Every structure is written in C-alpha cells, then in structure tokens.
Structure 1
Amino acid sequence: MSMMNMEWYRIFLHTARVGNLTRAAQELHITQPSVSYAIKQLEEALGVKLFDRLSKGVALTSEGRTLLDYVEKSFTLLDNGEKQIASLRNYASGELRIGASGPIIKHLLLTPLDELRSQHPNVRIRLFQGNTADIRTRLVEGQIDLGFVHLPYVDPELQIKPLTAIQGCFVVGPAYKELARQPITPADLNKLPLLFLSRGSHTRQFIERWFAEQGIAVEVDMELNSSEMLVELARHGYGAAYVTRSFVQQELRDEALFELTTTAPIPERFIGVATRSSASLSLIADHYMGLLSATF
C-alpha cells in the first residue's frame, strides 16, 4: 500500500464515520474537492462504488461496509503499533536477551541488570548460560541480543567490543596454602593436581597456551563445565584451579582459597560484548550497553 493509498483510506474511514463530505473535509483540515477526489480514486482503484450520494450526505454501499470493517481494523493495528513503539522508546515494555557464562552473569552483569530492572520493571530480561560457542550460535540465529565472550575472538558475522579486563590465577585450598608463600614455577605447578574448565572452552585454550609457551605439556586431573565447581574442589584440597581472580575475591579474603603466584606472569584477558553484524540493536539493548559502560 503506497502512502497515497494510505491517505485515501484515511479519508474513506473518516467520511464513513461522519457520513458527510463537507464535515469530513472540515475535520481533516482539507478541502471538500480533496475528499471527493480521494474517494473517487479509491473507488476506481478497487473497481467498486463505496458510497451512495444522498441529499444530506453519503451512505456506505454494501461493498463500502465490507471495506470499512477491514480499514478500521487496519488503522487500529497501526495505532496500537505506534503506541507499542512509544512504549519501547520509554522502556515501558520490551525484552532484553543476553547470553554469557555463569561467572560473567554473576560477577559482571548482575549489577547493571539490577539497575535496569529497578529503572524499568516492565522490561522482560531473558538470560541464556553457555560457553562462547553456544553464545555465538544464539547470536547468529537471532536468539539473543547481546553475547558476552572472552577475547580475543574474531567472527565475520559478529561485532565485538571490549568491555573489561580480567586476570586469571591459580588458587588452592588450605591444604596447599604453604605453596602460596613464594612464587611457583610453571613446571612445579604442573606437578600439582590441576583443575580446569572443560576442553574447548576459551579459558581452557588460553591457559594451555600459556603452559605451552613455557615449554610444558600440561597434565589436567579434573575437567569441569562449571567455574563454581572448580572453586569448590580447590577449597576442598583437590588441587590448583585456574579461575578469574576478581570472581574469587571473597574466598581469598576469607582465606578459603589462596592464590599461587607464578614465576611466569599470566597475561590479562578481556571480556567483550558481541552483537550480530547484520542486526540493529534494540532500544533496550542499547540502553543496557550504556549501563554497562557506566559500570566498567
């Protein structure tokens, strides 16, 4: 439907409601000939007569009454659509869909999410937990708006923006706390039972590369899908777990865990936020990005 046709239908609808060409023109702030012309054009385009001319106005024909029902529904839908867009612009409704690992959700995203929910309680928040591969799949399939991944990560279908730096470290429970008194070499670290995330995770690949750069083929004793389980097993004395330092600050303060200082520094990494290159960011997702920027 062209914009000109849209105007014809608007004039048709108003004329049908008031039953008079002159009154319709006055209320629409146009001339009566403009009303007559629009109705004539619409009748010619549809190939039917829409109004019968009466001495004191106009009356819908049978075809006109049929058309009116659909035109009223169409304009109601358009009006509702405009109201919904206004609601989205005011964050009075809408949906924010996020994908991230459990620790990133817990330690990085919850505070700005709490702020968003406090400011705009009617916005629906949907969280999907997964690793980088899971998040990438959900992004390219349009299932989430924002995905949080470990960097470096390059994908031609995604736009990725660095968000914050993180520092990894090895931690042990009280059973191994004596090892925290002095720096430990990568070779001696490899002699301990090592607790890593499962093979294939970005974090696992990163720390294995670090060992390889020291000339060490790392031996892993326990592989887990959960960082929380790594922390728990380290606390119970099962070995040295590779974790993100800022995610275990409370345990380090409580001396439930002890950090091992390595003689070869472990480089810091970055968390990035990824979006689909071919998709526009929703208003609420863009607003949440602003909250994240203010947080970090």
Structure 2
Amino acid sequence: MVSKLDLYKIFCQVGKSESFSKAAKDLYMTQPAVSQAIMQLERELDTRLFYRSPKGVSLTNEGSLLFEYANSAINLIHVGEEKILEFKNLTTGELKIGVGDTISRYFLLPYLEAFHIRYPNIKFTIVNGTTLELCSILKSGGVDVAVCNFPIDDPTLELKPCIDIQDTFVYGERFKKILAKPLSLHELVKLPLIFLESKSNSRKYVEDYMISKGIKISPEFELGSHDLLLEFAKINLGIACVTKEFSQEYLNKGLLYEVQLNEKIPTRSIGVCFLKSVPLSRASTKFVEIVEGKQL
C-alpha cells in the first residue's frame, strides 16, 4: 500500500514534470503505478488535481494550490533529512556540557580543544555549577553530559571515571615551623582550616572521611572556589584543603607547602556522567570518548 506521504511525493513529481511517464522515470516507477497513485489521491481529496491530454498533464486550480503547500512540505522534509545527516556526520550541532570552574580550568580545557579541532562546527554550551547542581541540571535535560567530582551516588546516572585526584592540605610561610614534621589528622584539625563550602562534593568527600575517623571539622573559612583556597592559604589565613593536582603551580613555585600527613586521604576521581535512560547523541559520544582518552 502506498502511504499518504508517498502519494504527495508522486503528486509533486508529476506536477513538476507535467507528465506521468517522465515522473515515473524520475521515481523509478511504472507509468501505470504513477497514474494509479494520482487517481487514489484525487479520490481521497474528492478533487481533480490534473487536466489530462495527449501532450501530458497540467495542474488544475485546486491542484496548483495543493502543489504549493505539498512541494514546500516535501522540501522541508528533505532539508530535515539533510540536517540529520549533518548531525550524524558531526558537521553541525550543539553539545551542552555541565562542569565546575575548577575542573574546567585544570582538567577539561585540553579535551575541549581536542574536540573542537576534530569537530569545529559543533557549538559548545558550558553550564557551570557544583556537582550536586550539575546532576540536577543533567536530569532535567539542561545539559547532555556533566564533568564532575566523584563519587556520585545516583542510580539514574552512568559514571565514567577519567582521572584520579588526591585531596591534601597546603599552607603558607607562617605555618612552616609548626608543620615541619608529619602530623595526624587529629593534630591537623586543631589548626585554622580553610575548606570549600559544605555543598561542594569535594568538601563532603573529605569531611565524610574525617568523620569516619572520629574527627569533626570546624573551618575558619568556607569558600566558593578552589583558587580562593590557594590564595587564602598563601596569605597565611589557615591550612587549606585542596586538590593536589590543581595546586601544582603554587607548590612548584614555593608559594605554598603540602602538609605531610601520617595517613593520606584516599584518592577519588573526576569523570563524566550522563543519564542511563537517554541515549547519547553522536557528538556527546565522541566527547566522552575524547575525555576518557580513547581518541587523544
């Protein structure tokens, strides 16, 4: 059975060709099949669409009106199909990524660059937030993927760990004598501490670990960014809990020093997460592969 869409495609081709035989050739159909399709459409619409003559066919007034709309619709369908091919071939499209400022600056930028070099026509939209905020945005459809601090306990999300990171404590010149020797976490919490805000996943991970050791923290300062932690520690306002991998510039230049703990905090991960229930777009899939290191 010929579908309604096929009938209109045949109708438009006949309208352009002004001939059943020419339309049949263009459509790789037999002439009787084309003629039968036009008669079927005329019956369904209860309207004569073509004048027939030995020289060919021509549109009636009603047929001309229908052709104007049907041809535009068919053209729009073709444009839509071309756009789908462009998306599949990554020659157009948009990729919405959720990421925090610190992870973006110290981890994600090389991968964004690599993706952009490979697929320059894909537009980036970057949404900033904490891990908790980004998971919520991800589940509401606001971003395609999120790059977050792990661990994340959410069964609706697929998690792809990409890099291990180490939480540590750093200090400035003022605390150099006090912290010349290794010390325990119990001793450390007696000093003025600088942490990220309590809603931060990084803060929660360290705090949960310390609670598991029977240690409660009461920071002197709670800040909104990793860079501020480093700057506050540099001017000797306290001992800052930071990510070691994101603090190397300060440590290498001697602006800050790392606390030597008797027991290191277990490493954790940074990775990509996305909804299990929603298939990734081709652009999202390629981005995840690049961040995982499969295409670098």
Q: TM-score range by the shorter chain?
A: over 0.9
What is the rounded CA distance, in whole Å, between the counterparts of 1:3 and 1:163 in structure 2? 51
Equivalence for 1:70: 69
Equivalence for 1:83: 82
Going from structure 1 to structure 2, the CA distance change for 1:54 and 1:171 (only over 3 Å counts) comes to same
Specify the code of the residue in structure 1 equivalent to 2:292.
S
Going from structure 1 to structure 2, the CA distance change for 1:171 and 1:245 (only over 3 Å counts) comes to same
Describe the superposition over 1:237-268 as per-residue Cα deviations: whole angstroms up to 9, x where unpaired: 11111111100111111011111021122011
Matched, 1:106 2:67: no
Conserved in 2, the CA contact under 8 Å of 1:179 and 1:260? Answer: no
What is the rounded CA distance, in whole Å, between the counterparts of 1:254 and 1:123 in structure 2? 38
Shift of 1:3: 6.9
Shift of 1:98: 0.7
What is the rounded CA distance, in whole Å, between the counterparts of 1:122 and 1:27 in structure 2? 34
Equivalence for 1:286: 285
Equivalence for 1:94: 93
Shift of 1:46: 2.3
Conserved in 1, the CA contact under 8 Å of 2:167 and 2:267? Answer: yes
Equivalence for 2:227: 228
Gaps of 5+ in 2: none
Matched, 1:238 2:249: no
Conserved in 2, the CA contact under 8 Å of 1:183 and 1:260? Answer: yes
Conserved in 2, the CA contact under 8 Å of 1:172 and 1:260? Answer: yes
Describe the superposition over 1:14-43 as per-residue Cα deviations: whole angstroms up to 9, x where unpaired: 100011111111222211101011111222
Describe the superposition over 1:149-179 as per-residue Cα deviations: whole angstroms up to 9, x where unpaired: 2222122332222222111100112222334
Equivalence for 1:274: 273
Matched, 1:17 2:6: no
User: What is the TM-score of this pair, normalised by structure 1?
Assistant: 0.94
Secondary structure, aligned partner of 2:194: strand
Gaps of 5+ in 1: none
Residue identity (%): 34
1:23-172 correspondence runs (5 A) = 23-172=22-171
Specify the code of the residue in structure 2 equivalent to 1:95.
E
What is the rounded CA distance, in whole Å, between the counterparts of 2:165 and 2:264 in structure 1? 14
Describe the superposition over 1:63-98 as per-residue Cα deviations: whole angstroms up to 9, x where unpaired: 211211111111211121122122222322211111
Conserved in 2, the CA contact under 8 Å of 1:135 and 1:147? Answer: yes
Going from structure 1 to structure 2, the CA distance change for 1:221 and 1:94 (only over 3 Å counts) comes to same
Shift of 1:191: 1.5
Describe the superposition over 1:192-249 as per-residue Cα deviations: whole angstroms up to 9, x where unpaired: 1111111122112111122222222212110011111111101111111111110011
Equivalence for 1:211: 210
Conserved in 2, the CA contact under 8 Å of 1:180 and 1:258? Answer: no
Describe the superposition over 1:134-157 as per-residue Cα deviations: whole angstroms up to 9, x where unpaired: 101211111101112222212233
Which ranges of 4 or more aligned residues in structure 1 deviate by more than 4 Å? none
Count of aligned residue pairs for this structure pair:
295
Q: CA RMSD in A?
A: 1.7
Equivalence for 1:178: 177
What is the rounded CA distance, in whole Å, between the counterparts of 1:282 and 1:157 in structure 2? 18
Secondary structure, aligned partner of 2:153: coil
Specify the code of the residue in structure 2 equivalent to 1:274.
C
Describe the superposition over 1:85-116 as per-residue Cα deviations: whole angstroms up to 9, x where unpaired: 22222322211111111111111111010111
Q: Which moved more, 1:264-273 or 1:208-217?
A: 208-217
User: What is the TM-score of this pair, normalised by structure 2?
Assistant: 0.94
